[in-house]
């Protein structure tokens, strides 16, 4: 499981021109599910992201986590995080989990994140979405459950 997390001042997602998820200060999480990912991957990733100290203290040092600041989370499914561009000019998505299983794991990830007590918003799995991200910093980090 792979997440691109972006520290944001605000973020929202639209489907068919309508806002379906919106947050203030916190993290925008683009989440990709790989073939073979499990509930253990979800638990590791949620714990790491919620506790990752990427919010500054009064001295400008990364000392605070999402939990510390009571931030908000917008989680967007994004199978393209497992694009393979090694061969040819068109990406291959062979590593990405098939949609039914990916949706199941995505929804479990969202539910696990809600257990943190933070505000959690989402896009719509499989929909064509417009994602607005007002990146703060900018701070962008890639977290892969295989590396945890």
* Active-site annotation holds for 109: no
Q: Which entry of 79, 109, 113, 122 is annotated as an active-site residue?
A: 79
Q: Which entry of 38, 62, 63, 80 is annotated as an active-site residue?
A: 80
Sheet strands (E) in 78-125: 120-122
* Active-site annotation holds for 125: no
Q: Return the closest-CA partner of residue 75 out of 51, 97, 52, 45.
A: 45
In the chain, how long is the greatest CA-to-CA distance?
A: 48
Q: Which entry of 6, 78, 109, 113 is annotated as an active-site residue?
A: 78
CA 147 from chain centre, in angstroms, equals 16
Residue 77 backbone zone (phi > 0: left; psi -120 to 50: alpha; other: beta): beta
H-helix segments, the chain: 39-51, 66-69, 99-114
Is 144 in contact with 4 (CB distance < 8 Å)? no
* Active-site annotation holds for 78: yes
Residues belonging to the active site: 78-80
């Amino acid at each position: 499981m792979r997440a691109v997390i972006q520290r944001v001042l605000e973020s929202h997602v639209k489907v068919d021109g309508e806002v379906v998820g919106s947050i203030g200060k916190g993290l925008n999480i683009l989440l990709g599910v790989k073939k073979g990912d499990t509930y253990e991957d979800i638990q590791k990733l949620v714990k790491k992201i919620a506790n990752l100290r990427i919010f500054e203290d009064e001295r400008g040092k990364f000392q605070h986590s999402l939990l510390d600041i009571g931030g908000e989370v917008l989680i967007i499914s994004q199978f393209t995080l497992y694009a393979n561009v090694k061969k040819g000019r068109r990406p291959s998505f062979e590593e990405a989990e098939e949609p039914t299983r990916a949706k199941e794991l995505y929804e479990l990830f969202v539910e696990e994140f809600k257990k943190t007590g933070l505000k959690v918003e989402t896009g719509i799995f499989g929909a064509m979405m417009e994602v607005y991200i007002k990146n703060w910093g900018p701070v962008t980090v890639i977290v892969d459950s295989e590396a945890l």
